[in-house]
Amino acid sequence: MNSPTPVTTSPPAAAGTEANAGQPQFAGRRAALLISTLLLGVLSFQLNASMVTPALPQIAASFGLSADSAAPVQSMFFLAGAIAGPVIGRWSDFIGRRAALLLVLGIMGAGTLLCIAAPTLPALIAGRFLQGVSSAVFALAYIVLSENLHARLFGTSVGIIAAINGGIGGVDGYVGGLMAETLGFRSIFVVVLVLTAVAAGCILKIVPKGRPRGVRGAMDWWGAGSLSVFLVFITYFVSGGSAAGWTVPSTLGLLAGTVASFAAFWMIEKKRSHPLIAVHHLRSRQVWPVIATTVLTLAGIFAVINFTVVLLSQDIHHGFGLSASVSALLFLTPAALIGVFAAPLAGWLADRRGWIKTLRAGTGLSLACAIAAATFSDNQVAVMIAVASLGIFYNGFFLTAINGLSVLLSPKEAPAALPGINGASFGIGASLGVVIVAPFAAQATSAGYATALWISVAITAAAFIVSLFVAAPKGESL
């Protein structure tokens, strides 16, 4: 499984930029300010995702439309994020991290203003697409931390950022719903706009400017364009197959577009002197196992936490018969809250015990939790404990380790390439997992729920096997 071409990876310690080359890395108060600043940036994106979800019915009603018409409000937001991560992440190698962060927050601010003033639902959806570009802030934050913090602080800081990946312990979703009910859904966007402005001001003051060292050439826009087309096709293929069926002409057409666009991306990258990411890197153990582990783990575990268990817990005939609010309180909130504390701990352990060990522990123990949920799917307490434990091993260990490794294993000449592509893989994996288990969970029977959970187990087992092929960062032994 060794790659045909050796890969030079970024070192765990900060690489620095041309602007701050030779200067001491951030430490003490400066390090805390940098982490806090980047945390504000990722919160601007995360609150845009989590606080709007409970407001979707009101958004549709305010325009005199049915609830299902509001679906693009979220789908276009996440589609933009899938595209923006790899493209803007790689572009930051050429324009600098601070410029890229300010760019994505500026685009999100423009989109937020459009959402606040939107006279129609299509205008609001356009604003949400612009807001979704801010998804790139996660990958950019991890890279900034790697380049400016000492190696012993990197893991903990990655954990702090990763802890926000699932929201603020479920509180943000509740507050979003409350604001929508009392102040109207546009009040959510006002809060987001203020937070975005504060984050941009802090980034301008704290994040170093300058282009990263060791990066040559210019942005590969042909590669970026072809990758974006591929991401659009695969996103619609997954969602279209779930909704219309996998053998209908429209889905098969999307599948053909997915294959053709990826082939075009591959051929373009082979011919570029400074590609978005070189083809030989895509074949290497430093890249493909990271992407595959992300897709498979998200497909397996996301479907458990955010789909199958949600349906099971609210089914009054073959499930636990809970209300939506009680279900969220018992099955969603604990894992989210635990993850907020477990992720920084996981980063601290990764720095001291190794990133590969932390990844394998997170993936393997997440698999154990999925097995427990599937084995005792008729026992409410057992499922609660299993899902809550995923707050440690999935939200904490896995998410922290995979995000940290995407930075440490990214090619030296393209340090933002792997974090950006890996970020896009999160959405693909989550969507794929729900699509695969949906036909079984939707049967609303005990056997259907159990089957859906065991399918997630099988996918997570595949993720664990793939994680064994992930190469160790420079200086770390397996």
**Confidence at residue 166, expressed as pLDDT on a 0 to 100 scale:** 64
**Confidence at residue 417, expressed as pLDDT on a 0 to 100 scale:** 87
Same domain membership, residue 307 and residue 167: no
Same domain membership, residue 142 and residue 249: no
Whether the per-residue pLDDT at 179 is higher than 90: the answer is no
How far is Cα 467 from Cα 27, in angstroms, rounded to an integer? Answer: 32
Range(s) of the domain holding residue 452: 284-478
Same domain membership, residue 300 and residue 374: yes
Q: Is residue 451 in some structural domain? A: yes
Whether the per-residue pLDDT at 1 is higher than 70: the answer is no
Confidence of residue 224 (pLDDT cuts 50, 70, 90): very high
Q: Within 13 Å and on the Cβ side, how many CA atoms surround 234?
A: 23
Phi and psi at 354, nearest 5°, equal 115, 140
How far is Cα 73 from Cα 366, in angstroms, rounded to an integer? Answer: 31
What is the tens place of the pLDDT at every residue in 120-143? 999 999 999 999 998 899 999 999
Q: Is residue 243 in some structural domain? A: yes
Q: Which range has highest mean pLDDT (111-115, 305-309, 418-422)? A: 111-115
* Cβ pair 363, 405 in contact under 8 A: no
Q: Which residue has the higher pLDDT, 373 or 11?
A: 373
Same domain membership, residue 288 and residue 259: no
Q: Is residue 16 in some structural domain? A: no
Percentage above 70 pLDDT, the chain: 92
Same domain membership, residue 320 and residue 254: no
How far is Cα 212 from Cα 89, in angstroms, rounded to an integer? Answer: 12
* Cβ pair 459, 433 in contact under 8 A: yes
Alpha helices (H) along 171-220 = 171-182, 186-206
Domain boundary among 211, 232, 253: 211
Q: Is residue 169 in some structural domain? A: yes
List C-alpha distances in Å: 403 to 49, 250, 272, 416. 19, 35, 27, 12
Confidence of residue 169 (pLDDT cuts 50, 70, 90): low
Q: Is residue 175 in some structural domain? A: yes
How many angstroms separate the first and last alpha carbons of the chain? Answer: 16
Same domain membership, residue 439 and residue 299: yes
DSSP result, 54-67: GGHHHHHHHTT--G
* Cβ pair 115, 128 in contact under 8 A: yes
DSSP for residue 211: P
Q: Which residue has the higher pLDDT, 157 or 333?
A: 157
Confidence of residue 178 (pLDDT cuts 50, 70, 90): confident
Confidence of residue 399 (pLDDT cuts 50, 70, 90): very high
**Confidence at residue 67, expressed as pLDDT on a 0 to 100 scale:** 67
Domains identified in the chain, total number: 3
Q: Which residue has the higher pLDDT, 357 or 27?
A: 357
* Cβ pair 235, 431 in contact under 8 A: yes
Q: Which of 285, 302, 232, 222 is nearest to 418 (CA)?
A: 285
Burial-class residue 473 by CB neighbours within 10 Å (0-12, 13-18, 19+): buried
Q: Which of 188, 110, 167, 97 is nearest to 136 (CA)?
A: 97
Whether the per-residue pLDDT at 5 is higher than 50: the answer is no
Same domain membership, residue 52 and residue 77: yes
How far is Cα 137 from Cα 366, in angstroms, rounded to an integer? Answer: 27
Q: Which residue has the higher pLDDT, 412 or 242?
A: 412
Least trusted range by pLDDT, from 107-111, 379-383, 386-390, 420-424: 420-424
Whether the per-residue pLDDT at 41 is higher than 80: the answer is yes
Average pLDDT, the chain: 86
Same domain membership, residue 180 and residue 32: yes
Residues in the chain: 478
Q: Is residue 1 in some structural domain? A: no
Residues 6+ away with beta carbon under 8 Å from 35: 145, 157, 160, 161
List C-alpha distances in Å: 408 to 5, 39, 286, 401, 435. 18, 20, 9, 10, 31
Same domain membership, residue 352 and residue 386: yes
Burial-class residue 352 by CB neighbours within 10 Å (0-12, 13-18, 19+): exposed
Q: Which of 110, 201, 132, 162 is nearest to 344 (CA)?
A: 162
How far is Cα 66 from Cα 58, in angstroms, rounded to an integer? Answer: 10
Whether the per-residue pLDDT at 118 is higher than 90: the answer is yes
Whether the per-residue pLDDT at 239 is higher than 80: the answer is no
DSSP for residue 278: -
Same domain membership, residue 305 and residue 422: yes
DSSP for residue 133: G
* Cβ pair 309, 383 in contact under 8 A: yes
Same domain membership, residue 229 and residue 207: no
Whether the per-residue pLDDT at 222 is higher than 90: the answer is yes
Q: Is residue 18 in some structural domain? A: no
Q: CATH number, domain at 63? A: 1.20.1250.20
Q: Within 13 Å and on the Cβ side, how many CA atoms surround 364?
A: 9
Whether the per-residue pLDDT at 422 is higher than 60: the answer is yes
SS3 183: coil
Whether the per-residue pLDDT at 102 is higher than 70: the answer is yes
Q: Is residue 15 in some structural domain? A: no
**Confidence at residue 322, expressed as pLDDT on a 0 to 100 scale:** 84
Confidence of residue 10 (pLDDT cuts 50, 70, 90): very low
Same domain membership, residue 108 and residue 236: no
